[in-house]
């Protein structure tokens, strides 16, 4: 299964990515992990990415594209992969399409986790993060993992979340139309219990791969 996972912040992409990758026995590839691996290894791409971050700028598409292209040469993707956080815009989606076409390994599907903005704001503003172990929780005064104090992160405040959703609509949402036109898009509601969302996603994806 070669899969891209998309959706707005707060839709639970990270959680679903872990379950889906385990179910299909494929690597979960996130751009965050790729950045960290390149930075830690001090690769030329990592050094170039660091220069953008040091200036407080987003890493250029050209650098991100090369990092992802390199990651897709690893042996562990022989049976597929789940991309999370890439592509973030139509230009990146076109690059990914070209890379996979060259390998003759096109995507099987693009899974969109759909959630209304009001639900996202309510979900994220209720989230608290532990000061000690950094685990997120909802509706608690103490961390259920370690008993530490919890706090609301700046990016979990309503005004910040609203802006993040605006950025998503401007920059990332257009790839939904791109992949719909490609005939690859599958949309699953991200509202409900985690296990039910996973089951619905697997059911939809299995119909594609049959």
Instruction: Check residue 7 and give its pLDDT.
Output: 93
CB of 64 closer than 8 Å to CB of 91: no
Residue 134 lies in a domain: yes
Residue 60 lies in a domain: no
Residues 110-163 pLDDT 10s? 999 999 999 999 988 998 999 999 888 887 889 999 999 999 988 889 998 898
Residue 38 lies in a domain: no
Residue 42 lies in a domain: no
153 is catalytic: yes
Alpha-carbon radius of gyration of the chain: 18
Q: What is the mean pLDDT of the segment spanning 41-64?
A: 85
**Residue-number span of the structural domain to which 185 is assigned:** 2-27+74-209
Sheet containing strand 28-30, strands side by side: 28-30, 81-84, 2-6, 109-114, 185-189
13 is catalytic: yes
Beta bridge partners of 81: 2
191 confidence band (pLDDT: 50, 70, 90): very high
Residue 44 lies in a domain: no
Residue 10 lies in a domain: yes
CB of 209 closer than 8 Å to CB of 196: no
Catalytic residue among 2, 71, 123, 127: 127
Q: Is the pLDDT of residue 197 over 70?
A: yes
Catalytic residue among 69, 97, 164, 180: 164
Catalytic residue among 13, 71, 123, 128: 13
Q: Two tokens at 28?
A: 């979960």
Q: How far separated are the first and last CA of the chain, in Å rounded?
A: 11
Q: Is the pLDDT of residue 168 over 90?
A: no
- The total number of structural domains that make up the chain: 1
Residue 108 lies in a domain: yes
Q: For position 126, which CATH number holds?
A: 3.40.50.300
Residue 65 lies in a domain: no
If we measure between CA atoms, which residue out of 210, 187, 207 comes closest to residue 197? 187
User: Is the peptide bond between 87 and the residue preceding it cis, with omega within 30 degrees of 0?
Assistant: yes
Catalytic residue among 153, 157, 163, 207: 153
Residues 77-105 pLDDT 10s? 999 999 998 998 999 999 999 999 999 99
Instruction: Check residue 139 and give its pLDDT.
Output: 79
Q: What is the mean pLDDT of the segment spanning 11-16?
A: 91
127 is catalytic: yes
51 confidence band (pLDDT: 50, 70, 90): confident
């Amino acid at each position: 299964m070669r899969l891209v996972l998309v959706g707005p912040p707060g839709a639970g992409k990270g959680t679903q990515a872990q379950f889906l990758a385990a179910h299909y026995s494929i690597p979960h590839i996130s751009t965050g992990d790729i950045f960290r691996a390149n930075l830690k290894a001090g690769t030329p791409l990592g050094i170039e990415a660091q220069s953008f971050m040091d200036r407080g700028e987003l890493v250029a598409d050209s650098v991100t594209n090369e990092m992802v292209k390199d990651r897709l040469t690893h042996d562990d993707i022989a049976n597929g992969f789940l991309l999370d956080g890439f592509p973030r815009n139509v230009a990146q989606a076109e690059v990914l399409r070209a890379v996979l076409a060259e390998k003759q390994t096109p995507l099987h599907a693009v899974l969109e986790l759909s959630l209304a903005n009001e639900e996202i704001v309510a979900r994220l503003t209720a989230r608290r993060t532990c000061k000690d172990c950094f685990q997120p929780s909802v509706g608690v005064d103490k961390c259920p993992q370690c008993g530490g104090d919890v706090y609301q992160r700046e990016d979990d405040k309503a005004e910040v979340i609203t802006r993040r959703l605006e950025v998503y609509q401007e920059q990332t949402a257009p790839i939904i139309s791109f992949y719909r036109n490609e005939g690859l898009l599958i949309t699953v509601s991200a509202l409900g219990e985690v296990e039910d969302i996973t089951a619905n996603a697997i059911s939809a994806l299995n119909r594609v791969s049959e």
